[in-house]
Amino acid sequence: MIVFSQSNAFINEAAKFRRFGRVSSAKGRGVTRARVYLTDQQGETRYAMTNSFGYFRFDDVPAGETYIVNVFSKSYQFSSQVVTVTEEITELNFLPQ
């Protein structure tokens, strides 16, 4: 006799969002090949490179977390931003100091 059991357990997966923005010069031009770092509260970091127009994107960023976002460029310095992910943010922009 074979008995199959079905579990009533379910997976509660947190919502995940896409984060994107732009790194610009003081004159408003996109900064090419800048590295944008996204660091979570556990210290795990991932990065994205800006494209030729200064845009970057992070996919599958879990909601409800707080992140520190840093930008590194050979030509400019940028201030860090602290972001709490609660909904899709489309305006995560950086200008040089």
Confidence (pLDDT) at 88: 59
For CA atoms 84, 85, 87, 93, give the dihedral sign.
Answer: positive
pTM of the model: 0.78
Q: From CA 13, how far away is CA 6, in angstroms rounded? A: 20
Q: From CA 4, how far away is CA 19, in angstroms rounded? A: 43
Decide if pLDDT at 33 tops 70.
yes
User: Which CATH fold would you assign to the domain 16-91?
Assistant: Immunoglobulin-like (2.60.40)
Domain boundaries, the chain: 16-91
pLDDT digits (tens, 9 = 90+) for 57-85: 988 888 888 999 999 999 999 999 998 88
Strand order in the sheet with 92-94: 55-62, 16-23, 92-94
Decide if pLDDT at 13 tops 60.
no
- How far lies 77's CA from each of 15, 22, 34, in Å? 32, 14, 10
Q: From CA 17, how far away is CA 20, in angstroms rounded? A: 10
pLDDT digits (tens, 9 = 90+) for 15-27: 666 678 999 999 9
